[in-house]
Amino acid sequence: MARLSLGWLKPPKAAPDGVMSLADHLRELRYRLIIAAIAITIAAILVAVFYDPFYRFLLEPYLQGKALILEKNNEQQVDAVLSGITSPLVLALMVCAVGGLVVSSPVWIYQIWAYLAPALLAKEKRYALAFLGAAVPLFLAGVAVGYLIMPQAIAVMLGFTPVAVGNLIYVDDFLKLMFQLMIVFGLGFIMPVIVVTLNLVGVVSAKALASARPYVLFGCAIFGAAATPGGDPFSMLALAIPMMLLFFIAELICKANDKRRAKRLGTDLVAA
C-alpha cells in the first residue's frame, strides 16, 4: 500500500557556504510560501471566530471621521451602506483575509528572513535575527498608523462634498480603502529592514545607499503620493516622512556593518 509522502514539500538542506542551485532556491521559495499561506489561513479563521468585535473595531475610523465632519457641518449626510445580496459575504471574507494577513505577520515575515538566511554567515544570522525582531513591530506600527490617520483622511476627502449633496459610503469600499492604506503603511515601514538585510547579504553597500539617497527620498515622496489610496496630502506625508527617517536609520546601520565587515576582512588578511 503506497504511503502519502510529503518529502517533496520539505525545503532543501543549505550548504555550509549558503550556495544553492536554482532548483533548490525554487523548492525553498515554494516551502516558505506554503508555510506563510497556511499561517494566514489559520489566522483568518481565528479572525472569523471573533468577527463581530473585529469588524466593529475596523469601522471605528469611519465613525470618528463622520463625527469630525458633523462637527463642521451638522447638516451633511454621511451614511454607511452595502449594495447587493453578496456584499455582506464578500465583506466578511475580505475582513477575515486582511485580518489574517496582519495577525500572521510574525510568521510570514520570518519566512522572508528564513529564505534569505542561507546566504548569511553564522555571525550575520544573529544580526539578521535581531532585525527580524524589528521588522514585525515596524510592520504593525505601520498598520497602526494607517488605521489611526483614517478618520482625518475621511474628514479631508469628504470635506470637498458640495452643498446640499449627501454621501453614501459603501462599507466594503471603505474597508478596502483602509486595508490598502494599512498594508501599504506596514510594508513601507519594513522596507528599511529589507535594505539592512540586503546589506548583510552583501547585495547593497552603505556607499551605494549614500549615492542613491536623493533618489530614495524622492522615491519615498512619490511612493507616498501613489500608494496612499485616498490621495490626500495628510496620508501622503504620514507615509513618506517616516519612510525617509527609517531610511536614514537603515543607512547608518549599513554603514556601521560595512565598517565591521571591512575590519573583519582586514584582520583575516593579516592572519593569512
163 vs 96, higher pLDDT: 96
| Most confident by average pLDDT, 35-39, 207-211, 240-244 | 35-39
pLDDT tens-digit readout, 229-262: 555 676 777 778 888 888 888 888 888 888 887 8
Helix 122-148, helix 233-271: angle, nearest 10 = 170
How many CB atoms neighbour CB 12 within 10 A?
Answer: 15
pLDDT at res. 45 = 94
Q: Tell me, what's the pLDDT at 46? A: 93
Express each pLDDT in 186-196 by its tens digit.
888 888 888 88
Say if CB 131 and CB 197 are below 8 A apart. yes
Q: What is the mean pLDDT of residues 173-183?
A: 85
Provide mean pLDDT across the span 209-228. Answer: 79
Q: What is the pLDDT of residue 228?
A: 65
pLDDT digit string, tens, across residues 100-129? 998 998 888 888 877 776 666 566 666 666
Alpha helices in the chain (DSSP H): 22-49, 51-72, 87-103, 105-116, 122-148, 150-158, 171-201, 206-227, 233-271
User: Residue 6 gets which letter from DSSP?
Assistant: -
Give the lowest-confidence range in 8-17, 22-31, 137-146, 234-243. Answer: 8-17
Residue pair 103/41 in contact by the 8 Å Cβ criterion = no
Q: Mean pLDDT score of the chain, rounded to an integer?
A: 79
Give whole-number Cα distances, 38 to 26, 101, 180, 226, in Å.
18, 11, 22, 31
Closest CA to 64 of 179, 154, 184: 154
Give the torsion sign (CA, 45, 51, 57, 61).
positive
- Give the pLDDT of residue 100: 92
Amino acid identity for residue 211 in this structure: S
Q: In degrees to the nearest 10, what's the CA dihedral of 83, 88, 93, 99?
A: 90
Convert the pLDDT of each residue in 70-101 to its tens digit: 888 777 788 888 887 888 888 899 899 989 99
Quick one: cell of 116? 534569505
Q: Indicate the pLDDT class of residue 164, thresholds 50, 70 and 90.
A: confident
CB 175 within 8 A of CB 95: yes
Distances (CA, A) of 49 to 95, 97, 98: 12, 13, 14
Whether pLDDT at 271 is above 70: no
Q: What's the rounded Cα separation, in Å, for the pair 120 and 116?
A: 7
- What are the beta bridge partners of residue 167? 78
Burial of 181: CB neighbours in 10 Å, binned 0-12, 13-18, 19+ = buried
- Looking up cell 552583501 gives 202
The yes-or-no verdict on residue 144 having pLDDT over 80 is: yes
